[in-house]
Chain A
Amino acid sequence: MRSFKDNVLRGLLWLAALLTIAILVTIVGYIFYKGIGLISFDFIFGDYSPTGGGGIWPMIVTTIYTIVISLVIATPIGILAAVYLQEYAKQGRLVRMIRFATESLTGIPSIIYGLFGAVFFVTTLKLGMSIIAASLTLTIIILPVIIRTTEESLKTVPRSYREGSLALGNTKLQTLYKVILPSAMPGILAGIILSIGRIVGESAAIFLTAGTVAALPESIFSSARTLTVHSYLVTQEAGDIELAAAIGIVLIVIILILNLLATLLSKILNKADY
């Protein structure tokens, strides 16, 4: 009797795993199957055309803009915040409060970030629907990611490094930028890569803060659309599944490359531990 129950359970485990794999393979497979026919040099690097058949270059440029701007702002702030939490702060109420805030930010759905960005950056700061408004919103979204991963990698820097440096007469600050940050670098980079993934995948927050203009942005104050928003809009507006899937392929390839980079970096990090 027991072995019968065992076999049923074992069967269910296999079934669930096969189902998961089948579903995920189907989705990725479907997107590649539908979209691959559109992928070409002209598609990636061509200008958008309102009458159809154009490329996605303006959306790629917009996506790169949002990535660069939000990273330029969020990375230094995130790293310094992590340094404060790990190296400077006395564990107490203040640190608990900061940690709580950082964790809460992680849990907020992106549509709420979008609402906030729309009222704060777009309207109150009068930035208008623009790349800069979207990037500032994204900055807040990725800040917790960078803080957390930097903290994790700071934890792995051996105490002996710090002590050695301090013993040599370096100040805390010198120790920080000469010894600690360099050895934590792979972990920090992994955090940055994760953030890029988050930015690339984001849709709702950007939709409400950057608008949907399908043209090459003139400046960071232009309204524009990113790849993900474009793939949403062509599905929604034109029902053009093939185009959406082709953009999907580009997005999946970007995510894949980012993941490989992150894995590579974490391997370097693990080696540095020895």
Chain B
Amino acid sequence: MARPPVEKANKRKYMLEKLSGRVFLFCALLSVISLLLIIGFVFFKGINPFVAEGYSFINFLFGDDWVPSEDQFGIFPMIVASIYATIGALIIGVPIGLFTAIFLAEIAPKKVAKIISPAVQLLAGIPSVLYGVFGLAVIVPFLQNNLGLAKGQSLIAVILVLAIMMLPTVVTVSETAIRAVPKSYREGSLALGVSHIGTIFRVVVPAAKSGILTAVVLGMGRAIGETMAVILVAGNSLIVPTSLTDSVRPLTTNIALEMGYAAGVHQEMLFATGIVLFSFILILNFVLAKISAKGGN
């Protein structure tokens, strides 16, 4: 008589187990669903003008003129601006960030590093808008008044803001990578009579290469995707920049500036701008995956 309830309870337990496993699976699949939805919606909206309304994708990518009210949509100036701004920020931000990371991991007294490293990490969490506020309040007037530019809102201002913004990311990630290099590497090199600095640059840094590359790619991702901080200092002009002092409009800025009031084809073209940006990021992610796969080996 006592058996059936137990069996029943067991059955219920079993059912619950099975069910919960499926609920968990569904939750895990939600991130896949979200990604597919995001890609789906952005691509669906962005491809429409080229598929259904006869706009040329080549003219979109390589056209110089972006005049939505006159039905002209060319984003070449923005692509160039995004690429220049990102590369420029890397040229300034990576060496400074990497050297700071080496300093913190290898040279600084432990006590000093213990204070500075968390402080730098903290700065990675500061809202990027504040870097833009600083850029507009300090960097733009500096360029105008001290360097005599006609307008401070320029490619160089964007590059400086992005370089500063990526510093904490580059420092934190490369510092972790450098610290992860086994002690025996250093000891071996030192035992061979190589100096401390020589050891750092010839042994430790090459050993931490994949981690440092990850830092660079992450910093790059942050730079190319940054929007609001850039709007404040870019000037948003629609020209292909030919010098550092030209004001520019990167891809992200174009979307945020015009999304508020765009409708119809204009809005779809902003999604198309998003696709181009998305493609850049996907390429970066792919590179990152390659790097971490190599690091794993």
A binding-site residues for B, Cβ under 8 Å: 2-3, 5-6, 9-10, 12-17, 19-21, 23-24, 27-28, 30-31, 34, 76-78, 80-85, 88-89, 97-98, 101-105, 107-116, 118-120, 124, 140, 143-144, 147, 171-173, 197, 200-204, 207-208, 228, 231-232, 235-236, 239, 241, 244-245, 248, 251-252, 255-256, 258-259, 263
Contacts and interface: CB of A to CB of B under 8 A. Distances in A.
A11 to B, nearest CB: 10
A28 to B, nearest CB: 7
A16 B118 CA distance: 17
A112 B256 contact: no
Contacts of B260: 208
B31 A143 contact: yes
A245 B132 CA distance: 11
Interface of B: 13, 16-17, 20-21, 23-25, 27-32, 34-35, 37-38, 41-42, 45, 95-100, 102-104, 107-108, 116, 118-123, 125-134, 136-138, 164, 167-168, 171, 195-198, 201, 221, 224-228, 231-232, 252, 255-256, 259-260, 270-271, 274, 277-278, 281-282, 284-285, 288-289
A147 B31 contact: yes
Contact of A203 (B29, B168, B228, B288): B228
A30 B27 contact: no
Nearest to B168: A24
A144 B34 CA distance: 11
Nearest to B45: A119
Contact of A204 (B130, B138, B167, B256): B256
Contact of B259 (A6, A105, A203, A208): A208
A112 B104 CA distance: 35
If over half of B's interface residues share one DSSP class (helix, strand or loop), that class is named, otherwise mixed; here it is helix
Contacts of B255: 111, 114-115
Q: Which of A80, A115, A231 has the most CB of B within 10 A?
A: A115
A231 B229 CA distance: 11
B129 A255 contact: no
A252 B126 contact: yes
In the complex, the 8 A-B pairs of residues with the closest C-beta atoms, listed nearest first: A109-B225, A16-B99, A84-B24, A201-B127, A80-B27, A17-B103, A81-B28, A204-B227
Nearest to A235: B133
